[in-house]
A and B are shown apart, each in its own frame.
Chain A
């Protein structure tokens, strides 16, 4: 949480002092594409996904075609092995997406290992499903400032979030907010994640991102993430929100849990969700 506060500071500082910005063209270097892997295993009983693609040059205008010939398995610490198949339903935009053959629910406390074999190269990553606390409730509240001067006409309700944060464990969270079933972000580069350093036991009505109008449906998903997951999202957030200002760190590649120099992240999470209709 303190991280987010710092970035607020950063943004404001730059807003004040950034005299002007211009798009410039840099000379691009020829670099070898790298393998990019993302995957998610949760405690929901569904077919979980893994996506494999390649990096492109900074100025490349080509699309990111998926890699379709990878052999993928996920194994838990009980010896269960789950095989993945490429785009089983032949979805239009499914190139590069792999789904587990069978639906399975990840177990809280278990460790999951992803193995992606691509030709002679093998990429692996391991993550653990940490427990997640329950969402006690969501509440709708009218934001008076926004009501007086709404940025979007009619959008002045906010969703308040209530939960109990276990104080005896070190926990990390990732949040996803949905407005009428589509992912909602205040700004395009937002990632909502937190550690519990500054969270007391009772989380009483923390507002979630954005504003809602009457009749909107709001849904909140809360994922437990491991410490390495927190580091990954934190690095990613820092990288995406660097604005070249005096408080911005130089860009650094996010620290990933994948081996063999693959990019991306393999995440194992417990997830809880709740939803509410604004009335």
Chain B
């Protein structure tokens, strides 16, 4: 199969070379776009040629390429928050032009309206995507005053969460496990710290985040709902820089510096929560319990020459939850990615990525060495991904490449020691290979119409060694019996799947300030996240597709209207509708045992899903008061034989109305205020309708067997924060250091937002004839206003 990929790449590469030979009469301007102050590559900066009225944008490594007939040109480089740069050049032969752009200082940003239109909202083919630069993220303090990438994303249309204490996020009615989360190209299997209160992305190290809710480029695949692409900083290549903060929950420190000036730099960013401060208020009886986390994000790069750059990045983080000295559990991710950018020539850019990523958790229980239970589980992958971009001409940009991922799943390495006797209940590892090739083109058909279309071909193999079970028929909703088992040798294929995934997106420009965009994409997902709890949590199980479990397929259609208002695009607005139809969505039978279960596949069910909705978004970019309002009207349902009598039922994260407001106000040079408000209509949950008594035990009963049959109360919350900048001047001189304080209030009016409802009975056991009470109890994870302070510095 790797042979197929190789052949494919050779063919495309040859075509590129051939194409180049006939296109000799044109010349190419190419180079990297960087920040003048710290040398960071700028992602998505616009390059515009005044004479031809055409343009291009820098890619994720800051590289751009524009092909033109020889001549005199005025080139404009623009990027949000940076001073526009204009270069006059005479282009007679292929030319390399690396440029550095200067960021507008804080004060300038308020008054200077960029002379250039930064109107990507309307003009780009991209739709259903949201880009949040770290400056915006830093204005939105989340829980306990800490800035957080995932919490910020949840303020965007189409993105939601089940509530406080839920790991991950839901996009357009998709499950937590249907999001592909990449940290410098490395897949992240659990994006949360402290049960979802914080994310694993350290804001000091993050440069850029982009969320694709639809119209996902052919380059990416493997999850059906969304792609969250998080890119970290390269590190300051001009001078030493330190960023840090001391907050209520944790402290952070990030160091960056050049290793060889303008050639090589590094960033090292760490966070560590204080001993268990979060847990303390809730712990009256449990003295030894501790909950903490730490993480380390690092990256270094080296520019060998103008055509070769190397990036090495890594992440290591862990959450530790201790019950006492020898009992507890911990979980975390490790990722490493090595990337090599190679510029073959001015028009052929390539990147080769090698990735290692692992998510694991460990549990330990027992009084002493003679009575212990230990269990660990992990998912590990190795990935290699060659990618090429060929800048054909001003109207076509072709991307092609492939990827190959080797997975090992260790569902349970579990050992019990009972009275000194060792009992191993470990389950077999599972081995899988997922590979893909893709080809896509960004095509500007005319002044008004542009399109991006591509095709991805993905393959998945379930490999030996291992035992593949065959399950018999059962009444839908009941555990399927094992009717056969077959042993497979190493590298033997137990089951394989393949899918063609077409991706199409178009933009039609109505006028300078409005456009219509549409997209269709098919996504295949070969690994599944199985969760049978109220909300996603660190023990959720990843299972690969197999002879019993087919890959999930999602087809998404989206149509949108994009409009900018005001001079200089002060306001951006968009309205999008989407529908996603899915096949082979994984659910489980009532009472399924998903942990350490050899026959798990016999307890899983698959069915169809449908999600549809309307997203409205209005954003004000400039002025002392800026921010956005987002509203989503949505529905997401599943139909699985054996659940809910085979009728459609809403998913746990079905939210009819979802309104978010984020506002930022600059009071004066030193004080800025921010606020965000969230309203989400009640999410569904399962609750009994009746009760009965057996053996004197009061038992609740769900008469219809309905899944998610009641709705919780609606969720709403207001957070406010105030940022106070340190004095810029000290004794008449400008201070070299910058610092600021953030004071914040989370859940300002102290609402007890519902997380779940559960049933309880009165304390007395019953004897026949006695009356007993049944109660419904609402659980709130955060039930009061939470104030916090943090001090942040940069020098």
- Contact partner of B780 among A13, A19, A51, CB < 8 A? A19
Check B699 against A254 for contact (C-beta < 8 Å).
Answer: yes
Check B757 against A244 for contact (C-beta < 8 Å).
Answer: yes
Taken together as a complex, chains A and B put the C-alpha atoms of A8 and B329 apart, in Å, by: 12
The B505-528 residues at the A interface (CB cut-off 8 A) are none
Chain A nearest CB from B422 CB (Å) reads 8
> Does B783 sit within 8 A of A, measured CB to CB?
yes
Check A17 against B282 for contact (C-beta < 8 Å).
Answer: yes
Chain B nearest CB from A145 CB (Å) reads 11
> Does B591 sit within 8 A of A, measured CB to CB?
yes
> Does B99 sit within 8 A of A, measured CB to CB?
no
- Taken residue by residue from 349 to 385, chain B's Cβ proximity to chain A (1 for < 8 Å, 0 otherwise) reads as 0000000000000010100000001010000000000
Chain A nearest CB from B354 CB (Å) reads 35
- Contact partner of B776 among A25, A62, A252, A263, CB < 8 A? A25
- Contact partner of A56 among B652, B690, B769, B776, CB < 8 A? B690
- Contact partner of B423 among A63, A200, A244, CB < 8 A? A200
Taken together as a complex, chains A and B put the C-alpha atoms of A214 and B19 apart, in Å, by: 95
Residue of B nearest to A20 (CB): B783
- Contact partner of A202 among B419, B537, B704, CB < 8 A? B419
> Does B705 sit within 8 A of A, measured CB to CB?
yes
Beyond A56-B692, A200-B421, whether A21 also contacts B591 by CB under 8 A is no
Taken together as a complex, chains A and B put the C-alpha atoms of A76 and B328 apart, in Å, by: 48
- Contact partner of A244 among B591, B705, B756, CB < 8 A? B756
Taken together as a complex, chains A and B put the C-alpha atoms of A2 and B763 apart, in Å, by: 27
Which B residues are CB-close (under 8 A) to A28? 689
> Does A203 sit within 8 A of B, measured CB to CB?
yes
Which B residues are CB-close (under 8 A) to A60? 691
The A24-42 residues at the B interface (CB cut-off 8 A) are 24-26, 28-29, 31-34, 36, 38
Beyond A17-B165, A244-B755, whether A251 also contacts B776 by CB under 8 A is no
Which A residues are CB-close (under 8 A) to B687? 26, 251
Beyond A56-B691, A263-B694, whether A200 also contacts B418 by CB under 8 A is yes
Chain B nearest CB from A268 CB (Å) reads 15
Chain A nearest CB from B138 CB (Å) reads 27
Check A16 against B694 for contact (C-beta < 8 Å).
Answer: no
Check B418 against A203 for contact (C-beta < 8 Å).
Answer: yes
Taken together as a complex, chains A and B put the C-alpha atoms of A108 and B12 apart, in Å, by: 73
Which A residues are CB-close (under 8 A) to B685? 250
- Taken residue by residue from 383 to 422, chain B's Cβ proximity to chain A (1 for < 8 Å, 0 otherwise) reads as 0000000000000000000000000000000101011011
Which A residues are CB-close (under 8 A) to B532? 249-250
The B524-561 residues at the A interface (CB cut-off 8 A) are 532-535, 537, 539
> Could you tell me the dominant secondary structure of chain A's interface residues?
loop
Q: Which of B284-292, B605-613, B656-664 contacts A (4 or more CB under 8 A)?
A: B284-292
- Taken residue by residue from 226 to 263, chain A's Cβ proximity to chain B (1 for < 8 Å, 0 otherwise) reads as 00000100111011101111111111111100000001
> Does A1 sit within 8 A of B, measured CB to CB?
yes
> Does B277 sit within 8 A of A, measured CB to CB?
no
Beyond A58-B774, A66-B768, A239-B700, whether A15 also contacts B534 by CB under 8 A is no
> Could you tell me the dominant secondary structure of chain B's interface residues?
loop
Residue of A nearest to B588 (CB): A249
Check A36 against B694 for contact (C-beta < 8 Å).
Answer: yes
Taken together as a complex, chains A and B put the C-alpha atoms of A199 and B420 apart, in Å, by: 11
Check A93 against B767 for contact (C-beta < 8 Å).
Answer: yes
Check A64 against B537 for contact (C-beta < 8 Å).
Answer: no
Check B537 against A18 for contact (C-beta < 8 Å).
Answer: no
Check B166 against A34 for contact (C-beta < 8 Å).
Answer: no
Chain A nearest CB from B492 CB (Å) reads 29
> Does A109 sit within 8 A of B, measured CB to CB?
no
Q: Which of B423, B478, B697, B779 lies at the interface centre, i.e. has the most chain A CB atoms within 10 A of its CB?
A: B779
Check B282 against A9 for contact (C-beta < 8 Å).
Answer: no
* Chain B interface residue number, banded: 35 or more
Beyond A19-B781, A246-B534, whether A198 also contacts B425 by CB under 8 A is yes
Could you count the A-B residue pairs with CB atoms below 8 Å apart for me: how many are there? 246
Chain B nearest CB from A138 CB (Å) reads 16
Chain A nearest CB from B746 CB (Å) reads 12
> Does B500 sit within 8 A of A, measured CB to CB?
no
Taken together as a complex, chains A and B put the C-alpha atoms of A6 and B361 apart, in Å, by: 14
Taken together as a complex, chains A and B put the C-alpha atoms of A253 and B685 apart, in Å, by: 15
Chain A nearest CB from B692 CB (Å) reads 4
Which A residues are CB-close (under 8 A) to B425? 2, 197-198
Check B767 against A64 for contact (C-beta < 8 Å).
Answer: no
Check A200 against B289 for contact (C-beta < 8 Å).
Answer: no
Taken together as a complex, chains A and B put the C-alpha atoms of A216 and B375 apart, in Å, by: 38
> Does A22 sit within 8 A of B, measured CB to CB?
yes
Check A201 against B778 for contact (C-beta < 8 Å).
Answer: no
- Contact partner of A9 among B285, B329, B702, CB < 8 A? B329
- Taken residue by residue from 82 to 115, chain A's Cβ proximity to chain B (1 for < 8 Å, 0 otherwise) reads as 0000000000011111000000000000000000
Check A21 against B778 for contact (C-beta < 8 Å).
Answer: yes
> Does B693 sit within 8 A of A, measured CB to CB?
yes
Taken together as a complex, chains A and B put the C-alpha atoms of A5 and B418 apart, in Å, by: 13
Which A residues are CB-close (under 8 A) to B279? 16
> Does B590 sit within 8 A of A, measured CB to CB?
yes
Check A201 against B363 for contact (C-beta < 8 Å).
Answer: no
Taken together as a complex, chains A and B put the C-alpha atoms of A15 and B533 apart, in Å, by: 16
Which B residues are CB-close (under 8 A) to A25? 776
Chain B nearest CB from A181 CB (Å) reads 15
Check A252 against B590 for contact (C-beta < 8 Å).
Answer: yes
Check B773 against A61 for contact (C-beta < 8 Å).
Answer: yes
Which A residues are CB-close (under 8 A) to B700? 58, 239, 251
> Does A188 sit within 8 A of B, measured CB to CB?
yes
The B736-795 residues at the A interface (CB cut-off 8 A) are 752, 755-759, 761, 763, 765-771, 773-784
The B278-321 residues at the A interface (CB cut-off 8 A) are 279, 282-283, 285-286, 289, 291, 321
Beyond A18-B282, A34-B692, A38-B695, whether A246 also contacts B419 by CB under 8 A is no
Taken together as a complex, chains A and B put the C-alpha atoms of A203 and B371 apart, in Å, by: 11
> Does B703 sit within 8 A of A, measured CB to CB?
yes
The A161-210 residues at the B interface (CB cut-off 8 A) are 188-189, 197-205
Chain B nearest CB from A188 CB (Å) reads 6
Check A21 against B780 for contact (C-beta < 8 Å).
Answer: yes
> Does A54 sit within 8 A of B, measured CB to CB?
yes
Taken together as a complex, chains A and B put the C-alpha atoms of A13 and B322 apart, in Å, by: 10
Taken together as a complex, chains A and B put the C-alpha atoms of A251 and B591 apart, in Å, by: 8
> Does B114 sit within 8 A of A, measured CB to CB?
no
Chain B nearest CB from A92 CB (Å) reads 8
Beyond A16-B291, A22-B777, A202-B421, whether A242 also contacts B758 by CB under 8 A is yes
Check A16 against B768 for contact (C-beta < 8 Å).
Answer: no
Which B residues are CB-close (under 8 A) to A255? 478, 590-591
> Does A23 sit within 8 A of B, measured CB to CB?
yes
Taken together as a complex, chains A and B put the C-alpha atoms of A246 and B194 apart, in Å, by: 12
Check A188 against B763 for contact (C-beta < 8 Å).
Answer: yes
Residue of A nearest to B370 (CB): A204
Check A265 against B694 for contact (C-beta < 8 Å).
Answer: yes
Check B373 against A5 for contact (C-beta < 8 Å).
Answer: yes
- Contact partner of B697 among A6, A57, A240, A250, CB < 8 A? A240
> Does A46 sit within 8 A of B, measured CB to CB?
no
Taken together as a complex, chains A and B put the C-alpha atoms of A63 and B713 apart, in Å, by: 30
Beyond A236-B697, A245-B534, A254-B591, whether A34 also contacts B690 by CB under 8 A is yes
- Taken residue by residue from 315 to 339, chain B's Cβ proximity to chain A (1 for < 8 Å, 0 otherwise) reads as 0000001010000010000000000
> Does B710 sit within 8 A of A, measured CB to CB?
yes
Known contacts A2-B373, A55-B690, A253-B705; can you find 13 more A-B pairs with CB under 8 A? A16-B289, A19-B782, A23-B776, A23-B778, A36-B693, A51-B694, A58-B690, A64-B693, A95-B769, A246-B533, A247-B539, A250-B534, A254-B591
A binding-site residues for B, Cβ under 8 Å? 1-2, 5-6, 8-9, 12-13, 15-26, 28-29, 31-34, 36, 38, 51, 53-66, 93-97, 188-189, 197-205, 231, 234-236, 238-240, 242-255, 263-265
* 18 examples of A-B residue contacts, CB within 8 angstroms: A2-B596, A16-B282, A19-B282, A22-B752, A22-B780, A24-B757, A31-B690, A38-B694, A64-B693, A64-B766, A95-B769, A197-B425, A242-B759, A246-B533, A246-B535, A250-B532, A251-B688, A255-B590
Q: Which 10 A-B pairs have the closest CB atoms?
A: A200-B421, A244-B758, A252-B590, A20-B783, A198-B416, A244-B756, A55-B692, A244-B779, A250-B686, A31-B703
